[in-house]
Amino acid sequence: MTQPHESTAPDGASDASPPTALWLLFIVTALMSIGYGIVFTLLADIRDRFGFSDGDVGLIAFAGFASGFASQMFLSRFADRGHTALMVRIGMAIAASSMLWMVFANDLWQWVGGRLLFGLGTGMVAPAIRRVVIARDPARVGANLGRQTAFDVGGFVLGPLIAAVLAQLIDLRAPFLFLFVTYVAVFGLIGRIDLHSGAQDTTHRALRTLITQPAMQSALAAAIAFYLTIGTFEAIWAILLRDLDAPTWLIGVTVSAFTLPMIFFASRGGALAQSRGPIRILTISIAIAAICTFSYGIGPLWLLIVVSGIHASADAFTMPGNQVAVAMSSPPEQLATGQGLLGATGLAVAGLAALGGSALYGTFGRFTVFTATAVLMLVFLLIARLRWQAYEATLPAASTGTMNASEAQPS
């Protein structure tokens, strides 16, 4: 195979507009994320209205992550076996059903069941869509994955706004009914587009094969470094700012502002990862994020807010860079499995980091938790670089050509 430092896509490739079918898939990605944002926003209201405990609400939230993890880890391979369109359509149908389920949910088991269904559906849709995005336009895979990331994050930001407005003006169940109707409408449009996504996997050993590849190990190690700080940030950030006497409005603004660079710069970040090499971009962006993470443990409130903007800008290059790295590390017939493995890894690491970070913060304080997180980020970044070097050592010495995602086939 050719060496995955560069791509056939020039730096300016991100300026070209994707095909119409990809724009529709980006919209589907945003709609799936809106579902997550709506549920998280309404958890407190669900607790109060139905008399659930904090532990019950935690179970509702966890259910979606658990089923999403299992779905991406174990079902994504079927998109590689020629069932991409079926995975997207069934996944959307399940997600729509989950929204309708939650319109009528009352008991705890019903809310947990609705979340399980939603995680299952989104976990089927996400890797399958990424497979189409990667295979449909290999020369611009980085820019297109970046655009998809922007829609993903934008949807999650839009979800709370939709939930707040509809729940306030109509009823708690209105946001779920709105998404059910929207999903059904988009489902009809999805049936009219071609979801063909190239070569099919016939080995039935895709997951085991990918995990043993040094290039994939490198990509996953970089992903672990990224999601360590994501999980810690989500669990502790609001509490940290409150402990530093920040008002509620400022906490909300910083959380929302953190997503803005991802929306505006992710496409450029993905294009750079493809053209310059993902490990090069990831090394810079994760190192910056690690420095920012460490500073959260020692700085005053004003410094944390400034640094969070730098951190957010670095993450705008890391997230699509991770996706590009996995795409380049996956054979063309195993693209969805690779993306599913990335998604499952992210969910698992972020969840564990949130649990561990919360415990450390409560026991030892912010310096310990953010220092430990920053050190772990650098350790996994080092592992990522070492495994990439191990991969490069397997290449012919004269192999200096370019490549794109459809040509990446680690041996």
Residue range of the domain that includes 41: 11-197+205-407
Contact assessment for residue 336 and residue 131, using Cβ atoms and an 8 Å cutoff: yes
When pLDDT is averaged across residues 10-14 and rounded to a whole number, the result is 47
Helix runs in 137-247, H state only: 141-169, 174-190, 206-211, 214-243
Q: Is the pLDDT of residue 48 over 50?
A: yes
Q: What is the pLDDT of residue 378?
A: 97
| H or E stretch covering 116 | helix 108-136
The 3-class SS string of 234-278 reads HHHHHHHHHHCCCCHHHHHHHHHHHHHHHHHHHHHHHHHHHHHCH
Q: Could you give the number of structural domains in the chain?
A: 1
The residue type of 41 is T
Q: Is the pLDDT of residue 319 over 50?
A: yes
Quote the mean pLDDT of the chain: 86
Report how many helices (DSSP H) and strands (DSSP E) the chain contains, helices first: 14, 0
**229-240 confidence digits (pLDDT tens):** 988 887 788 788
Contact partners, residue 398, CB within 8 Å, separation at least 6: none
When pLDDT is averaged across residues 310-317 and rounded to a whole number, the result is 94
Residue 20 maps to a domain: yes
Residue 141 maps to a domain: yes
Residue 375 maps to a domain: yes
When pLDDT is averaged across residues 43-70 and rounded to a whole number, the result is 84
When pLDDT is averaged across residues 258-274 and rounded to a whole number, the result is 91
Q: Is the pLDDT of residue 1 over 60?
A: no
When pLDDT is averaged across residues 288-294 and rounded to a whole number, the result is 96
**162-214 confidence digits (pLDDT tens):** 888 898 899 999 999 999 999 999 988 887 777 776 667 667 677 888 999 99
Contact assessment for residue 369 and residue 296, using Cβ atoms and an 8 Å cutoff: no
Residue 370 maps to a domain: yes
SS3 content of the chain, % helix, strand, coil (to 5): 80, 0, 20
Place 342 in a pLDDT band, splitting at 50, 70 and 90: very high
Residue 379 maps to a domain: yes
Q: Is the pLDDT of residue 314 over 50?
A: yes
Q: What is the pLDDT of residue 8?
A: 41
Residue, of 179 and 53, whose pLDDT is higher: 179
When pLDDT is averaged across residues 129-134 and rounded to a whole number, the result is 91
Contact assessment for residue 410 and residue 213, using Cβ atoms and an 8 Å cutoff: yes
Poorest-pLDDT segment among 32-41, 54-63, 143-152, 387-396: 54-63
Looking up residue 317, the CATH number of its domain turns out to be: 1.20.1250.20
Residue 3 maps to a domain: no
Q: What is the pLDDT of residue 37?
A: 82
Q: What is the pLDDT of residue 404?
A: 47
Q: To the nearest whole percent, how much of the chain has pLDDT over 70?
A: 91
Residue 268 maps to a domain: yes
Place 397 in a pLDDT band, splitting at 50, 70 and 90: low
Contact assessment for residue 312 and residue 262, using Cβ atoms and an 8 Å cutoff: yes
Residue 137 maps to a domain: yes
**299-309 confidence digits (pLDDT tens):** 899 999 999 99
